[in-house]
A and B are shown apart, each in its own frame.
Chain A
Amino acid sequence: MSALAQVAGDPDLEPAPAAPEAKQRSWTAYLLMLPGVLWLGVFFLLPLVQLASVSLQSRYPGFPGYYYRDLNFSNYASALTDYAPHFARSFLYAGLATFLAFAVAYPLAYAMAFKAGRWRNLMMICVIAPFFTSFILRTFAWSQILADEGWVASVLNFLHVLPNGHIINTPIAVVAGLTYNFLPFMVLPIYASLERADPRVIEAGGDLYANGFTTFRTVTLPISMPGVLAGTLLTFIPAAGDFVNMELLGPQRGKMIGNVINDQFLAVPGGYPVAAALSFTLMAAILVLVFLYVRRFGTEELV
């Protein structure tokens, strides 16, 4: 038998499966998990159960703001029927923002990973810099930038590309705001996966007769898919539930589901059960969408 066959058939050379952990070690692992588990239990799981029970409560007729424990699934029925357009809008705007953020972030992350050289750190700081000011303040700043008197609206109006002369208080402003606010969450994971890629693997594409574009399509992009997947999830999930951008940049009518939940909780007397039902519906819908998405585009690392 030749040397090759020996190597090929030698099970000792397979990457070894993780050695069974000693009892001592697994015990330590549980101990290390304890603070996190407690934290999640008290501040995530219990409120979730509480919210689930609220979502099934019924109102006392004639006493707004008073509820009794119940299994009132009509809250969910009304969440789905009355607010279906809001759900659709949320997913549409979040989807658009995710797509736009991807379109902006990928070239940026690519440039940072492969072309930036000594500018790389500066670019990284620029990507992270917005986190030094509050989300609300930055969105307020955007309401100034997109205002009718602002230069963006002026330039676009000069070019006659705005149908009704405004950006602010339109869905365009909302999508722009969402795109901007979640951009770093898209850039960073994509950058991380590109930066981690072995440059020789990409060179190998060229060496094996793939031109620049084909190498990108068949090697670079697939290698960075874990980053793309993480980035799109980190953008889409919060964007779908966001209400700040709609509140500050959006129109008066045609709100997103986040605004409805916010209003039901804070502004509508007796809105708690419906708000809770809407929250759960949103969570379920996002979970289903994410599951389908990961099933379709996911890599082994993330599934």
Chain B
Amino acid sequence: MAGFREAQGDLQLEAVTKRFGDFTAVDDIDLRVPRGSFFALLGPSGCGKTTTLRMVAGLEQPTAGRVMIGDTDLTGSRPYERPVNTVFQSYALFPHLTIHDNVAFGPKRRKLADASQRTDEALELVQMSSFAARKPAQLSGGQQQRVALARALVNHPEVLLLDEPLGALDLKLRREMQVELKRIQTEVGLTFIHVTHDQEEAMTMADTVAVMNRGHIEQLGAPEELYDLPRTRFVANFLGQANTGAGTIKDVDGDHLVVNVLGTPVKILRSRSQVHEGDVLFGVRPEKVTVSRTRPEGAGNDVRGVVRDVSFLGVATSYLVDMPSGATWSCYEQNLDVEPLDLRPGDEVWLTWNPGHAFGVPAEAPA
């Protein structure tokens, strides 16, 4: 097929920028996605994640920078020349073609001899074989989603792009599809790049997550890493919940920094803070915080607060606690004990945590 480029290897974006008029959607991004990995681009709407994806697909061309797969520079090439396929948001199935013909579209365009056999295999993979003769309008959202996946997978692309593929599904179906997508990715071993604004979805499926904000990659790493040690205020708040307090670094105590948060001294491991002097945003994840009625002995990090709200969740009880700083913190009590704490709004409590779980990020989000 004219123009089609075989390319193998890691996907690389080198200093990629995309501007639409005055608006910079993607600002000087460098990225390397190892071959065969499940990579998620996570961020709020308008952060540039979809634009980044479209530049990989060839549906947009970067204003500056290069898009490469392995050693092949794909910058400037058309979508149909790239060994890349997309599962579009809202699926974008061809409404005038049957499910079989939808899936066979790519292989037929490439004039592959085994187009029909490949199509059957792809439909088999997503368990949609029995629907081959139907039209897209006759399928449910979840079924269309899987046809869209088969239509992309059938081409064995070097990189498969998924643009919010589960966004239109209800919660239960979405959970099931998350597991299925991960299974299929493991089975076919292709590079998957998954764009989503759902942090849970990104963390469940991806090997590596890049958190994007305002056209930048804020932080990139394994989900556990991002969650455990966020490097920016944005990541701390976007990925899961964080109890935070703005403070100033006052002192160094061995491996720890001592931070004064509105009069209360708290400790952060030096290695877990991005700043080592001046203003810092102190943070700790809610599940790392222990709540008790009396001041625990020798914990070191303890703050007194007043319970504002109690929600019983089954496996745990969630508390919202008003802190002396004016912030509201969240914490959990695992429902393990025969006699639970039985806290009520208005009760005074002590919150403690292991200083090793605390983190420090720059106080001001970089503009």
**Which residues of A come within 8 Å of B, CB atoms?**
2-8, 13-15, 198, 200-201, 203-211, 214, 218-219, 222-223, 225, 299
Bound-state CA distance A281–B57 (Å) is 57
Q: Please, how many angstroms separate the alpha-carbon atoms of A2 and B87 in the complex?
A: 21
Partner of B95, one of A4, A14, A201, A208: A201
Partner of A207, one of B86, B126, B173: B86
A-B contact pairs, 5 of them (CB 8 A): A14-B138, A207-B58, A209-B80, A211-B2, A222-B97
Does B234 reach chain A (CB closer than 8 Å)?
A: no
Partner of B140, one of A13, A200, A222: A13
- List the A side residues contacting B84 at CB < 8 Å: 207
Q: Are A7 and B173 in contact (CB under 8 A)?
A: yes
Most buried by B among A7, A204, A209: A209
Residues of the A chain whose Cβ atoms lie less than 8 Å from the Cβ of B139: 15
Report which of A4, A14, A206, A218 forms a contact with B126, defined as CB distance below 8 A.
Answer: A4
- Is B142 an interface residue, CB under 8 A from the partner? yes
A223-B95 contact, Cβ under 8 Å, with A4-B180, A207-B59, A211-B78: yes
Q: What chain A residues lie within 8 Å of B310 (beta carbons)?
A: none
Chain B 4-24 interface 0/1 with A at a Cβ cutoff of 8 Å (1 = within): 100000000000000000000
Q: Decide if A203 touches B180 in the complex (CB within 8 Å).
A: no
Count A/B pairs, Cβ under 8 Å.
104
A214 cross-chain contacts in B, Cβ below 8 A: 109
Give Cα A66–Cα B86 distance, bound, in whole angstroms.
75
Q: Is the CB of B180 within 8 A of A3?
A: yes
| A7 and B176 contact, Cβ closer than 8 Å, known pairs A15-B138, A201-B93, A225-B96 | yes
Contact A200:B128 (CB < 8 A) given known A207-B59, A207-B79: no
Nearest 6 CB-CB pairings of A with B: A3-B176, A200-B92, A13-B140, A209-B109, A208-B106, A206-B79
Asked if A7 and B59 make an inter-chain contact with CB atoms under 8 angstroms apart, the answer reads no
A208 in contact with B92 given A4-B126, A7-B140 (CB within 8 Å): no
User: Interface residues of B, CB < 8 Å — how many?
Assistant: 46
Asked whether, in the complex, the Cβ of B110 is within 8 Å of the Cβ of A209, the reply is yes
B176 contacts across to A, CB distance below 8 A = 3-4, 6-7
Name the CB-closest residue of B to A203.
B59
- Interface contact B80-A206, CB-CB below 8 Å: yes
Interface members, chain B 78-125 (any A CB < 8 Å): 78-80, 84-86, 88-90, 92-97, 105-106, 109-110
Let me know if A2 and B106 touch, CB within 8 A. no
A2 to B146, CA, bound (A): 14
* A193 → B minimal CB distance (Å): 11
Contact assessment for A210 and B80 in the assembled complex, using a CB-CB cutoff below 8 Å: yes
> Which residues in B have their C-beta under 8 angstroms from that of A219?
94
Residues of A within 8 Å of B127, CB to CB, are 2, 4-5, 8
Which residue of A13, A206, A207, A209 is within 8 Å of B143 (Cβ)?
A13
A41 to chain B minimum Cβ distance, whole angstroms, is: 36
Residues of B within 8 A of A13 (CB): 140, 142-143
Partner of A203, one of B79, B105, B177: B79
A4 and B79: CB pair below 8 A?
no
Give A201 to B151 CA distance when docked, in angstroms. Answer: 12
Of the listed residues A7, A14, A207, the one surrounded by the most CB atoms of chain B closer than 10 A to its CB is: A207
Chain B residues whose CB sits within 8 angstroms of the CB of A2 once the complex forms: 127, 180
Does the CB pair B143–A204 fall under 8 Å? no
- The interface residues of chain B lying within 8 Å CB-to-CB of A203 are 59, 79, 86, 88, 92
Chain B contacts for A209, CB-based, 8 A: 1, 4, 80, 106, 109-110, 155
Instruction: A4-B176, A5-B127, A204-B94 given; name 15 further pairs at CB < 8 Å.
Output: A4-B127, A8-B143, A8-B146, A15-B139, A204-B151, A206-B59, A206-B78, A207-B57, A207-B80, A208-B105, A209-B4, A210-B80, A211-B3, A218-B105, A225-B96
Q: Give complex CA distance A7, B143 in Å.
A: 7
Could you tell me the distance between the alpha carbons of A211 and B97 in the complex, rounded to whole angstroms?
A: 18
Residues of A within 8 Å of B173, CB to CB, are: 7
Shortest beta-carbon distance from A261 to chain B in Å: 39
Given A7-B143, A8-B127, A15-B140, A222 and B96 contact (CB-CB distance below 8 Å): yes
Q: B311: CB under 8 A from chain A?
A: no
Min CB distance, B85 to chain A, in Å? 6
B294 at the interface (CB under 8 A from A): no
Residues of chain B with a CB closer than 8 A to A7's CB: 140, 142-143, 146, 173, 176
Least CB separation from A4: chain B residue = B127
